[in-house]
Structure 1
Amino acid sequence: MSLTTKIMIGMGAGIVVGLIFNQIDSAFINTHIVAGLFGMVGKMFVNALKMLVVPLVVFSLICGVLGIGDIRILGRVGGKAFALYLMTTAIAIAVAIGIAVLIAPGSGFNMEGVDVGSVSGKEAPSVWSVFAAIVPTNPIAAMASGEMLQIIFYVIVVGIAALMLGESSKKFAEACEYMNELMMKVVGIVMAAAPYGVFCLIAKTFTEQGIELFVPVLAYVLTLVSALFLHLFVTLMLLLKAFSGLNPLTFMKKIRPAQIFAFSTASSNATIPVTYRCVTERVGVNNSVASFSIPFGATINMDGTAIMQGVATVFLANVYGVDLGLGGYLTVIGMAVLASIGTAGVPGVGLVMLTMVLGQVGLPVEGIALILGVDRLMDMIRTVVNITGDAVVTTIVAKGEGQLDTAVYDNPDAGTTEDELEIDPAAEEALAEAAKPHPHA
């Protein structure tokens, strides 16, 4: 059984167990099994994924810059990725607002019994402060805190400097190649625990959330899910076909493991190692493009989060009886694109960004309390859209730069047959023989 199949079984079992435990509602189960065992294993698994992010990004990106070998090509790749990321985010929120205006969720919503006193807003950053923050004052501190844009900036500068040193950087390049391969092996080790980590994360979420939370805001949930699925299965796939000519069905099969991880963790950053592995080993993108585009996209490309902001803004405008008008909707689009650049890809960040958007269009920030209960599950779905958008743009850029191996892309077994932890039978027999005590020992 392939690892992807095991992970999908773990996810399905987690949903079933979570819904059963939610109905049982036992204090012992909730305290010791769900919050205790499931919480511990799930947290350890997410921490293990986050543990991989910074070293993987650092070494793979240095290898990518050195592999490109030309600063002008690096600038072209970065420019294409940045433009496509901004374009997909703008399209995502524009379509989401259109769907929300058509369906009009929140009209006639009953506010009785809703506590809206516990939500505080966050001030939107200026465009200048967002770009100024890309340059780190302390690169070690940036790595320690996982500031992805600052890490990318610093590592690219280091890579360019190594290119400028020429032949004397050969040993440095070899060391980075080795560390990159080493980190991919560590990814394989962590992935071996994925079915159990995914099971615990999903079971805990569905036990705590249940189904009854969705009833009061069902119109909002259905509108949001419709907009997310439309962007995932239609918009992104049309863009992939139009800009690269590749088969979208093949792409969706290839990227499925990363989507499962994104759904489980609700974190674009935590999913970086898995997304990177999928686009390089399964899709066939060269490391020189993937090492830059994937972590860059996980930070600035948040299509799913932008869709949530569009739908939530229309929903709350209808709840409070506020007519935003064309100017208000354009403000929402602009703010969502700007906020996505300066916000980290961690669970729940969409609500932080939403407070900025609501503040700009004059809607009460306290209204977020209406959708707070269902946001965790919605966050899981929109993270799938986020990382799929990253992978689509990365594939388009790689295809345009001639950095995509179409033989790997067209091979259904690419990146799925080998098991990083599988020991060759001959090697296993030799190890067993060596472990036997020597007769003269």
Structure 2
Amino acid sequence: MKRLALHWKIIIGMILGICWALLSSFMGWSSFTIDWIDPFGTIFINLLKLIAVPLVLFSIISGVANIGDPSSLGRMGGKTLLLYMVTTIFAISLGLVLVNTLKPGKLIDEQSRIDNRINYEIWAGSQGYEIKDGINYLHDPQYFERAQVISNLTKNDLKEASISDKIETADKQKEISPLQPLIDVVPDNFFYSLSNNGLMLQIIFFAIFFGVCLLFIPNEKSAPVLKLVDGINEVFLKMVDMVMQAAPFFVFALLAGVVSKMAGDDIGKVVEIFKGLSWYSLTVLLGLVTMIFIVYPSILKVFVRKFPYFGFFKAMSPAQTLAFSTSSSAATLPVTMECVEQNLGVDKKISSFVLPIGATVNMDGTSLYQAVAVIFLAQLHMIDLTIGQQLTVVLTTTLASIGSAAVPSAGLVMLIIVLDSVGLNPAWIAIIFPVDRILDMFRTVVNVTGDAAVCCIIADGENMLDYQEKSNQSDTFEVES
């Protein structure tokens, strides 16, 4: 087992978790699973949440501050960041269009979704979150009996949860300024933002502001700060790595616990959960494939017009293959640079600047998946997010993607941030965990392809692109993985 790759161990943990959930449901052991196995899944979520905030903070500061001298790199850096931001927003928007059109979360039976909804309302009441769509199933007495079956709450507790903070929230909503979302992004106390859930946008704002200011102070003063930031960032990346080493066990507990809570002792609901998961996976894959084979070639056709359709993919195939196998943009970066320089004719001055930034801030595939995942999970729990709340998903996902580490499974940490931003339960990531590793491989291919496309556009704009189709020899390019 020691020689087995981590992703295979995680897959084994997922399979065992699913098998245990099926057995637990069939044998009527759901209470045992929830009491004695599920707590380890909660520990896993807490560890990821512990790491998420400082990881985002220091990753963004490092990514922004490492852009370089603003006076000499300002124009190219601005164009690079703008293009990466545009492709990220497009990817998120595509994901939202697909998930709102196909509605994968609504393709499971209504009773399962009602149970999910009741669980959500109980959780929201216990955490002090507002019910997102203003509808409260616990307010309806017909659901009290079912709520008592799937929870340990009494009728009085359920009534309390159903009406808590409703009048106060309604009064506050009436007096909100149209620019309140903008006001909320700027913190008045950074340390308060650090210690409170749901204030990630304020942390991201501070990190970007801090990183930009580092660019405008003398190098001898900024260098020690940046070195410290990079060192701290490495520590938190190592924390992610260490937590993921224990992920096979945690994933088993997480899956077994979440499925047991959702399905109880009804094995039919377990089947419904995974039916919905298959539709979710197809929705994500449709979006990722569209980005790779339609969106990026179309952008290149408009802005560059030098690459034949299959020529671009032939040139990038070594990097795309490595990205698929490693699920890491950072690990693929040397091969991406080699493909872009040798096969696409991009000047090294451009590739050495644009691609490392892309490996840090450009997470198109991850962003698309996060947008689909959030709305899918909301649909699964009968929550209708408003346009404003979905725009919050777009904004949070776009900014959080800057802090997504270019390593496997870092997207899950960022997904916790996005779920928190719209007041949804971060523990729901367990529902989509079974297919995350496979989708992560496709997401990384999108990220690497997007990096290459933007690099080519920047190079062409700077007259540093010399593509010769005859020099495209990716079939003889050897990759050392």
Counterpart residue number, 1:166: none
Judge conservation of contact 1:122–1:355 (CA < 8 Å) in 2: no
Counterpart residue number, 1:318: 379
**Residue from 400, 406, 413 that aligns with 1:339:** 400
**Residue from 195, 202, 207 that aligns with 1:130:** 207
Equivalence map 1:131-170=2 (5 Å):
131-134=208-211, 135=214, 137-142=224-229, 144=231
**Residue from 414, 433, 437 that aligns with 1:372:** 433
**Residue from 299, 307, 311 that aligns with 2:368:** 307
| Distance (whole Å) between structure 2 residues aligned to residue 361 and residue 140 of structure 1 | 34
Counterpart residue number, 2:445: 384
Counterpart residue number, 1:157: none
Determine helix, strand or coil for the equivalent of 1:271. helix
Do residues 222 (structure 1) and 298 (structure 2) align?
Answer: no
Return closer, same or farther for 1:348/1:123 CA change in 2, 3 Å cut-off. Answer: farther
Structure 1 residues 166-224: Cα deviation after superposition (integer angstroms, max 9, x where no partner): xxxxxxxxxxxxxxxxxxxxxxxxxxxxxxxxxxxxxx9xxx99xx9965510100001
Determine helix, strand or coil for the equivalent of 2:82. helix
- Offset at 1:411? 2.6
Structure 1 residues 95-134: Cα deviation after superposition (integer angstroms, max 9, x where no partner): 1100111100111534789x999xxx88624243221453
- Offset at 1:344? 1.7
**Residue from 421, 433, 438 that aligns with 1:360:** 421
- Offset at 1:417? 4.4
| Distance (whole Å) between structure 1 residues aligned to residue 325 and residue 479 of structure 2 | 22
| Distance (whole Å) between structure 2 residues aligned to residue 403 and residue 274 of structure 1 | 20
Aligned-pair identity in percent equals 38
Counterpart residue number, 1:253: 314
Unmatched segments (≥5 aa) in structure 1: 1-13, 27-60, 148-203, 422-441
Return closer, same or farther for 1:225/1:253 CA change in 2, 3 Å cut-off. Answer: same
Determine helix, strand or coil for the equivalent of 1:94. helix
* Alignment-mate amino acid for residue 74 of structure 2: G
TM-score, normalised to structure 1, is 0.60
* Alignment-mate amino acid for residue 343 of structure 1: S
Determine helix, strand or coil for the equivalent of 2:302. helix
- Offset at 1:141? 4.4
Equivalence map 1:391-406=2 (5 Å):
391-406=452-467
| Distance (whole Å) between structure 1 residues aligned to residue 210 and residue 385 of structure 2 | 31
Paired residues, number: 299
Counterpart residue number, 1:269: 330
- Offset at 1:271? 1.3
Do residues 289 (structure 1) and 350 (structure 2) align?
Answer: yes
* Alignment-mate amino acid for residue 128 of structure 1: F
Structure 1 residues 70-100: Cα deviation after superposition (integer angstroms, max 9, x where no partner): 9766322211111100000000000110011
* Alignment-mate amino acid for residue 365 of structure 1: P
Equivalence map 1:404-419=2 (5 Å):
404-407=465-468, 409-413=469-473, 417=476
**Residue from 278, 285, 302 that aligns with 2:339:** 278
Judge conservation of contact 1:100–1:315 (CA < 8 Å) in 2: yes
Determine helix, strand or coil for the equivalent of 1:374. helix
Equivalence map 1:55-74=2 (5 Å):
74=73
Determine helix, strand or coil for the equivalent of 2:331. coil
**Residue from 211, 232, 241 that aligns with 2:301:** 241
Structure 1 residues 299-319: Cα deviation after superposition (integer angstroms, max 9, x where no partner): 111100111111111111111
Structure 1 residues 375-423: Cα deviation after superposition (integer angstroms, max 9, x where no partner): 111111101101110110001100111111122x55332x6547699xx
TM-score, normalised to structure 2, is 0.55
Structure 1 residues 348-381: Cα deviation after superposition (integer angstroms, max 9, x where no partner): 1111111121222222222211101111111111
Q: Please provide the CA RMSD for this pair.
A: 3.8
Counterpart residue number, 1:48: none
Judge conservation of contact 1:122–1:352 (CA < 8 Å) in 2: no
